[in-house]
Amino acid sequence: MIIPESVHPEYRQTLQTYLTNLNVPLITLPTPNGFLEPDDLKKAINDQIAAVVVQHPNFFGHLEEAEEITAIARKHGALAIASFDPISVGLLQRPGQYGADIAVAEGQSLGTPLGYGGPYLGIMACRQEYVRKIPGRLVGQTVDRFGKRCWVLTLQTREQHIRRDKATSNICTNQGLFALRAAVFLTALGPQGLKETAELCLRKAHYAQAKLAEVGLNLKFNRPFFKEFTIHVPKGSIPEHLKKLREQKIFAGLDLAKWYPTLTNCLSVAVTEKRTREEIDTLAEAWKKLF
């Protein structure tokens, strides 16, 4: 299996844990420019590779060459697996449109508030031929005895009903709560609302990047981004800077040195639709005072 460094480090760690006892090598491709170069994938892939994973937008916030990457994977008989931001599909292509066989996402942004780290909503989709390989619950469309459209559980673990309180996978209440919340959120937004939300993220992130550049915090990578971007902090200690900003009730970003030793002076910044111009201006002004 091939996965680039531009995929979230904790996703890669989790995948490595899953593969530890399966004798499946995990090949990690470097991304020194903040995204996976398709030519690097062409050099690494062969007919022994089972799958290629790509995150689009990736951990640095950048857009990957997703369509070309999935085409390369499928050309060599490998599954193309895409990790995506659900809000981004308001503007960007959906994974199925650029050729992904399996798509996964973190659904927290779909109406679920930050709750001290969770629980959140996992999203998984795949091509029709892989549906019966997916574990858990699948909801399908049918008609009731009156001919009206309705929804039923079509694939699920039977022990949830047979063993009841002794079932080992009886987690349906939590699943249902967050699936319902996301369904209500998306229904309220609609296609146009999702597009407008994505546009707000995009515009506000680029406004924030421009304001931070004015105070000397420039982009680390020259690459298109959606709602996250990576900046270079030219002087001082990032942990100390972040501590001082937290004292002002400002969470300024993630110190990338935690995962990337070569990015010890870099910070990942995320800007969503909830941030205001005033908040972004306050962030830039706070950084200016630190320098």
Q: Determine whether domain 191-290 maps to CATH 3.40.640.10.
A: no
Instruction: Classify strands 51-56 and 79-84 as parallel, antiparallel or unpaired.
Output: parallel
pTM comes to 0.86
Q: What is the pLDDT of residue 178?
A: 87
* Mean pLDDT confidence for 134-144: 77
- Asked if residue 139 has pLDDT above 90, the reply is no
DSSP state of 221: S
Calculate the CA 58 to chain-centre distance: 7
* Phi then psi dihedrals of residue 263, to 5 deg: -115, 45
- Cα separation, 157 vs 208, whole angstroms: 47
Sign of the CA dihedral with 230 first, then 252, 114, and 89 last? negative
- Cα separation, 41 vs 65, whole angstroms: 11
What are 223-278's pLDDT values in tens digits?
999 999 999 999 999 999 999 999 999 999 999 999 999 999 999 999 999 999 99
Extended strands (E) in 7-70: 27-29, 51-56
* Mean pLDDT confidence for 16-35: 93
What are 161-192's pLDDT values in tens digits?
556 666 655 555 567 788 889 999 999 999 99
* Mean pLDDT confidence for 70-77: 97
Q: What is the pLDDT of residue 157?
A: 56
In sequence order, what are the beta bridge partners of 267? 231, 255
- Asked if residue 21 has pLDDT above 60, the reply is yes
Write out the CATH class of domain 2-134: alpha beta
Which residue ranges make up each domain of the chain?
A: 2-134, 142-189, 191-290
